[in-house]
């Protein structure tokens, strides 16, 4: 297929996934903010959220002080913030429109409908009235987009580039979420956990789990109290947890193999090696070397994979 077409497909699904993950994180932050907590703790939560997308400078330049309503507005409907849900869904739709012929009618109409409905939601004030409902809607549209892709697209190159985009973005987003949320409690992470307010801990960790739809999963897998180590294990190493780094990388590797060409061997090797690290890694080793360092390195490697995919497939072939 055309390199440009592959590029648009890849980014269409990346932006859709990014919008979903942003909605997930915002929803959890919003729900957490409804719990009784000190101003300082609340402030910290919102700052953490902005730092996941590396947006603290951009936000501060525009709004100054961190205020929950302002952060939500900045992350949802600010068309000048490239990471806002509005910007992500617009980019997804523009990419889809550029290659609508490579999509099934259902996939295109789903993307287009999402964009048209988003305008209605934001203009009609649906978001301000009920943020939680709005975030549910964003998640739902993303589920629909993925589902209609799986349910209608021929499993050719176009399909695999769509899937590549989804899972590369998911690996990135889950890693960022973990990094920021663990960072928030890092000083207390080992040894002193018992001194911490257990109730606050419970909400902190359960919020992370819920943001990736893993709360019930956790209960089912561990049948025990929530501990940071297990949360990390579930979201990094569990192969059967659909939003874990391991599961995401597995999909990246498989889809990459389906589109392999004469120059993609090195990118495949890097992806395979990253997957192997997750397959054969142990959570105690990862925690011992430091989660932040581990995730930083992981994000770098995912970023390199994105660069490799772009170089091997998406940038126009040499003249």
Contacts of 88 (CB under 8 A, 6+ apart): 15, 16, 18, 19, 22
| Cα–Cα distance for residue pair 89/18, rounded to 1 Å | 9
Which of the ranges 1-9, 25-33, 121-129, 134-142 carries the binding residues for other proteins, by CB under 8 A?
1-9
Using left for φ > 0, alpha for ψ between -120 and 50, and beta otherwise, residue 134 falls in alpha
| Cα–Cα distance for residue pair 15/20, rounded to 1 Å | 9
Binder among 42, 44, 82, 100 for other proteins (CB under 8 A): 100
Question: Residue 151 CB, nearest distance to other proteins (Å)?
Answer: 18
| Cα–Cα distance for residue pair 251/155, rounded to 1 Å | 14
Binder among 44, 109, 128, 304 for other proteins (CB under 8 A): 109
Which of the ranges 23-31, 168-176, 228-236, 310-318 carries the binding residues for other proteins, by CB under 8 A?
310-318
Q: In 174-207, which positions are buried (b, 16+ CB within 10 angstroms) versus exposed (e)? A: bbbbbbbbbbbeeeebeeeeeeeeeeebeebbbb
State yes or no: residue 105 binds other proteins (CB under 8 A): yes
State yes or no: residue 57 binds other proteins (CB under 8 A): no
State yes or no: residue 112 binds other proteins (CB under 8 A): yes
Binder among 63, 97, 139, 292 for other proteins (CB under 8 A): 97
Give me the DSSP letters along 160-211: HHHHHHHHHHHHHHHHHHHHHHHHHTGGGSSSGGGGS-HHHHHHHHHHHHHH
State yes or no: residue 304 binds other proteins (CB under 8 A): no
| Cα–Cα distance for residue pair 53/12, rounded to 1 Å | 19
Segment 175-204, which members bind other proteins (CB under 8 A)? none
What is the pattern of x (binds other proteins, CB under 8 A) and - over residues 226-265?
---------------------------------x-xx---
State yes or no: residue 116 binds other proteins (CB under 8 A): yes
Beta carbons of 86 and 122 less than 8 angstroms apart? yes
Question: To the nearest 10°, the Cα dihedral for 26, 31, 37, 38?
Answer: 30
Beta carbon nearer to other proteins, 224 or 319: 319
Which of the ranges 27-35, 95-103, 148-156, 176-184 carries the binding residues for other proteins, by CB under 8 A?
95-103
State yes or no: residue 152 binds other proteins (CB under 8 A): no
Beta carbon nearer to other proteins, 117 or 304: 117
Binder among 33, 37, 43, 113 for other proteins (CB under 8 A): 113
State yes or no: residue 74 binds other proteins (CB under 8 A): no
**Binding footprint of other proteins on the chain (CB under 8 A):** 1-6, 79, 90, 94, 97-102, 105, 108-109, 112-113, 116, 157, 161, 259, 261-262, 313-314, 316-317, 319
């Amino acid at each position: 297929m055309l390199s440009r077409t592959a590029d648009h497909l890849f980014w269409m699904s990346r932006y859709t996934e990014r919008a979903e993950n942003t909605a997930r994180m915002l929803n959890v932050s919003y729900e957490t903010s409804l719990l009784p907590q000190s101003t300082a703790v609340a402030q910290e939560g919102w700052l953490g959220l902005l730092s996941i997308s590396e947006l603290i400078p951009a936000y501060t330049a525009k709004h100054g002080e961190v205020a929950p309503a302002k952060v939500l507005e900045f992350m949802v409907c600010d068309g000048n913030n490239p990471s806002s849900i509005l910007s992500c869904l617009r980019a997804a739709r523009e990419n889809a429109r550029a290659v609508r012929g490579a999509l099934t009618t259902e996939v295109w109409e789903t993307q287009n409908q999402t964009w048209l409905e988003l305008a209605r939601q934001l203009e009609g004030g649906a978001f301000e009235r009920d943020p939680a409902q709005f975030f549910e809607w964003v998640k739902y549209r993303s589920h629909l987009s993925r589902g209609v892709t799986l349910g209608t697209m021929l499993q050719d190159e176009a399909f695999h580039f769509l899937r590549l985009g989804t899972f590369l973005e998911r690996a990135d987003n889950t890693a960022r979420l973990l990094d920021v949320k663990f960072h928030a409690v890092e000083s207390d992470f080992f040894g002193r956990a018992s001194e911490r307010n257990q109730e606050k801990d419970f909400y902190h960790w359960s919020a992370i789990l819920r943001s990736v739809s893993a709360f019930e999963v956790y209960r089912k897998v561990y049948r025990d109290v929530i501990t940071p180590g297990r949360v990390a294990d579930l979201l990094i190493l569990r192969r059967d947890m659909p939003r874990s780094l391991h599961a995401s990388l597995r999909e990246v590797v498989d889809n990459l193999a389906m589109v392999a060409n004469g120059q993609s061997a090195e990118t495949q090797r890097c992806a395979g090696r990253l997957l192997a690290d997750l397959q054969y890694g142990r959570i105690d080793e990862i925690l011992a070397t430091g989660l932040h360092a581990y995730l930083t390195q992981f994000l770098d490697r995912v970023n390199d994979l994105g660069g490799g995919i772009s170089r091997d497939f998406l940038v126009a072939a040499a003249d």
